């Protein structure tokens, strides 16, 4: 960005010089975008995988659930057994009730 601004400021055209002086590098915004988005983010945002890991704790948890479903359910079951004190507690699924 600085290179383009330099060319504009050195121009013989007064209007281009003014534009070059007024351009902002938007460094803060560019850094935030770089940290937030994956470098290889898809063009179509609906395909997912655009937001980098570590940006949102909730998103990271949802990704873990979608990719590591069985392990997540096992961890949830262990957590609920500890929380409730019910050692026979089970997490199961059926087509009528879903997960219960």
pLDDT band at 1 (very low <50, low <70, confident <90, very high): low
* 38 touches 51 (CB < 8 A): yes
Mean pLDDT of 9-25: 81
β-pairing, 93-94 vs 98-99, is antiparallel
What is the share, in percent, of the chain residues with pLDDT greater than 70? 97
Average pLDDT over residues 20-45: 86
Longest dimension (CA), the chain: 82
Query: What tens digit of pLDDT does each residue of 35-49 get?
Result: 999 888 888 888 888
Distance CA 12, CA 18 (A): 11
**20 phi and psi angles, rounded to 5 deg:** -60, -35
Q: What is the mean pLDDT of the chain?
A: 85
Do 78 and 51 belong to one domain?
no
Tell me the whole-structure pTM to 2 decimals.
0.48
Residue 46's domain spans which residues?
37-67
How many structural domains comprise the chain? 3
Q: What pLDDT does 54 receive?
A: 93
């Amino acid at each position: 960005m600085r290179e383009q601004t330099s060319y504009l400021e050195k121009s013989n055209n007064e209007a281009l010089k003014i534009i070059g002086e007024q351009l902002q590098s938007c460094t803060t915004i560019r850094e935030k975008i770089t940290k937030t988005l994956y470098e290889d983010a898809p063009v179509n945002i609906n395909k997912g995988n655009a937001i980098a890991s570590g940006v949102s704790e909730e998103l990271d948890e949802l990704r873990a659930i979608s990719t590591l479903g069985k392990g997540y359910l096992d961890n949830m079951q262990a957590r609920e057994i500890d929380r409730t004190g019910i050692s026979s507690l089970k997490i199961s699924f059926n087509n009528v009730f879903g997960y219960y």
